[in-house]
Structures are given as structure tokens and as C-alpha cells.
Amino acid sequence: MYGVYDYCAMAKDQARVRAYSEALARTTTKDSVVIDLGTGVGLFAIVAAKLGARRVFAIDLSNAIEVGRDLARAAGVADRITFIQGSAWELTPPELADVLFYDLRGTSPLFHDNFRLVRHARKSWLRPPGVAFPTRDRLIAAVVRAPALCERLDAARKAVAALGIPTAPVEQVFHGSLHTDRNEPITADDVLTEPFTWAELTYGDVPPRGVNGDGSVRVTREGLAQGVCVWFETDVLPGISYDTAPGTQRTYARSFLPFRSPVQLASGDRVEVSLSALTDGSEWAWSHTVVRPSGERQAGPRQSTFQGEVMSLDALLSSAPTAKPTLTKEGARVQGILSAFDGQRSLEQIATDVARGTDEDAVHRALNEVRALARKHAR
């Protein structure tokens, strides 16, 4: 979950700020009720209030929303913004919205319940003929080099090898993982092929379980291809859009899917790329084939994040949709704590019961756990 610094740092992304601010200016009137879903510290909620909205409801699960209240007071618009902390699945805003906007993405729009939650909000919270934005996201990919990122991964591998330990298990995890370029940005000069759109998702539609797409792209710069970079372009409203292409400095990092074996690309080559992912971003798969001017085809292996998953067989089987789970001892203990949230006993009393009144350290540890569960599941 993002923190206060992260939400404030997002204001440095001028393309995103400009797009959302322009969309709010286009849609907000003095009679508008506006809902900001995923408000963070409320920056765009404050923008909407300053544009004259009659009422703004700013919704977020994060505790950062408390800073939003302070910012709204400092900006002189606290009387028109209602901050609501909680899960959007469980909330009913006091009024339906004329304008609904949201940004629930992670590195990619394929992030947890992003599309399902937005669809729920659009269906349940928007007053016809209200406006909701963004409207759609396009997923774009290109074959790239990523020297700094790959050097970091290889340095970790070499450190293990230096201890005389075979590194094949570590390499499988590295090559079967989705990485981000947040700390080692992929630049425009690192892009070696034409970009291509491999998936498009429209907010408000029933989201598919997964998306997939293929591209056959021309090599535009010679170099060592180390993987596929994925980014997105969003249509906020007609005529208002922005993207997170390599070379741009955005709120969001880009995704990097590494090739198990890097391949040298030359002028005249083409690369066929196949991509797929679950809509919640939990699983990705990718493959590539280099086609030389002579017609020779050099195919890489099919890779997936499943191959890089660090999970025991028992854990894998217990998470299958057909699994019939029973509570572990730890689960039963948590269940007992939750059942004690009855409005009668204090957190300290519950913690003492959990620790069975043993010693002060045990009660202290139990109190920390009870507090954490209460923040998440109690009111």
C-alpha cells in the first residue's frame, strides 16, 4: 500500500496531473457531486473542490487519508470534501456521483481488483448520465535491453556462485519473475523494436479472467535483447491521454519480463512476441522468436511467473480453487481473536486472554497482533 510520501511524489508526474486536472475541469460544475476513488492524500479531491464541485467524496483504504483531511483544511475546502476510509466494496457513498474518477493501478493496470472494483463503482455510485474516467487502458510492449536491471540480478547470482553453490534454482526464480524498472529505468534508447499494443481493457466492461496478445515487430535498434518491457497508455477522456513509455518519468514504473537467454538483434530482424496475463496481475507468461532476414527462426522458451513462484507443493495445492481448506492452529487463533471483538472487551483485555496471562512480553506481542487485526477488521 502506498504511503504519504508516495502519494505526494505522484504530483511530480506532470502528464498524469495535467490529464486528471483537465478532465476534472471539463466535467466539474458548481452543482457536481464528485467521487475520488483511491484518493490517497486527496490531491485531486482538493482540485475538484477548488473547481467548484458542490460536494466531493474522497475514498481510500489507506491511513494516508488522514493527511488528506489536513490538506483540505489547509486549502480552505474542507467544508466540501468528505473523506471516507474503508473498502470500496463495502461502502455506499452518501450521494450518487455526477463525476467519478479513479486510479487503482500498480505498475500495470493489471493490478488486483482494479477493473472489477471500478465496474462496481460505476454501476453503483454514478448518477445517469454521469461521467467516469479514465475510460480505457492499452497494454503496450517492446523488446528491450535493460543493462542496469540485469546487471543487478546477475550480481546477486554471482554472489551465490562465489560461495560454491549452484545457481540454477535462483536463476529460475529470476527468469520467472516480473520485475519493475523503478530503480533502473528503461530508457527510450533501450527500446530495440517497434512497440505494439497487445491488450486493451475498457473500464466498466465485465473484465475477462485474463488477456493475451501477439506482435511481430521490426528491429529498430541493434543491440542485446534482454527481455520485454510492458507499459500502458490510458484514455482519460476523449482528447486526454498519457502513457508510461520508456523514457518518461511517471508515477508508475514499467514491467520487465526477462529472456532466459539474451539474444543479439540486428538490422533486418523481426521478433515475434507472445504475452498473456491474468487480469489481476498475479500470473504472466511470455515467449519470443527472432526471425532473421534469411528466414531462420530462433525461438526462446515459454516463460511464466508460475515457474518463478516460490511456493511449496502443499501451499500450491491448498490454494487451488477446488481445495477444501480447514483452519490451521494459527488460523483458529486469529478466528478466536476476531470473535472477541464484541464491543464489550478492550484490546488490552483481549490481548491478555490471548497470551493466557503469562508474562509481560507475551501480552505485549499479543496486543500488537490484536491492534493490527482491529485496525483491519473492527470499527
How do residues 218-234 score in pLDDT, each as one tens digit? 999 999 999 999 999 99
Instruction: For residue 184, give the C-alpha cell.
Output: 533502473
Mean pLDDT within 332-343? 92
pLDDT for residue 312:
75
Instruction: For residue 83, give the C-alpha cell.
Output: 473523506
Over residues 134-174, the pLDDT tens digits come to 999 999 999 999 999 999 999 999 999 999 999 999 999 99
Confidence of residue 42 (pLDDT cuts 50, 70, 90): very high
Mean pLDDT within 188-216? 98
Instruction: Give me the residues paired with residue 34 across strands.
Output: 56, 99
CA 63 to mean position of chain CA atoms: 18
pLDDT for residue 376:
86
Confidence of residue 359 (pLDDT cuts 50, 70, 90): confident
Over residues 257-266, the pLDDT tens digits come to 999 999 999 9
Mean pLDDT within 346-355? 90
- What distance in Å separates the CA atoms of residue 285 and residue 306, rounded to the nearest whole number? 8
pLDDT for residue 355:
87
Quick check: 303 pLDDT over 70? yes
pLDDT for residue 358:
66
- What distance in Å separates the CA atoms of residue 338 and residue 373, rounded to the nearest whole number? 7
Mean pLDDT within 319-334? 87
- What distance in Å separates the CA atoms of residue 127 and residue 136, rounded to the nearest whole number? 20
Report pTM: 0.90
- What distance in Å separates the CA atoms of residue 365 and residue 379, rounded to the nearest whole number? 21
Cis peptide before 129 (omega within 30 of 0): yes
Quick check: 313 pLDDT over 80? no
Confidence of residue 362 (pLDDT cuts 50, 70, 90): confident
pLDDT for residue 375:
87
* Torsion angle, alpha carbons of 366, 370, 371, 374, to 10: 180
Point out the least confidently predicted range of 307-311, 312-316, 345-349: 312-316
Mean pLDDT within 68-90? 97
**CA geometry: angle at 303 spanning 302 and 307, to 5°?**
130
Instruction: Name all contacts of 120-123 with Cβ < 8 Å and 24+ positions apart.
Output: 120/88, 120/89, 121/35, 121/37, 121/88, 122/203, 122/204, 123/204
- What distance in Å separates the CA atoms of residue 121 and residue 99, rounded to the nearest whole number? 11
Strand 223-237 and strand 240-243: pairing? Answer: antiparallel
pLDDT for residue 2:
85
Strand 97-102 and strand 297-299: pairing? Answer: unpaired
pLDDT for residue 24:
98
Instruction: Give me the residues paired with residue 218 across strands.
Output: 270
- What distance in Å separates the CA atoms of residue 212 and residue 256, rounded to the nearest whole number? 16
Strand 55-60 and strand 33-37: pairing? Answer: parallel
**One-letter identity of residue 296:** E
Quick check: 311 pLDDT over 80? no
Mean pLDDT within 45-64? 97
Those residues with Cβ within 8 angstroms of residue 21's Cβ, 6 or more apart along the chain or in another chain: 44, 47
Mean pLDDT within 207-226? 98
Point out the least confidently predicted range of 48-52, 283-287, 312-316: 312-316
**Angle of helix 329-339 relative to helix 347-354, nearest 10 degrees?**
150
SS3 375: helix
Quick check: 89 pLDDT over 70? yes
Over residues 266-279, the pLDDT tens digits come to 999 999 999 999 99
Quick check: 357 pLDDT over 70? no
Q: For all residues of the chain together, what is the average pLDDT?
A: 95
Contact, 265 vs 143, CB < 8 A? yes
Mean pLDDT within 14-22? 97
Beta carbons within 10 angstroms of residue 344's beta carbon: 8
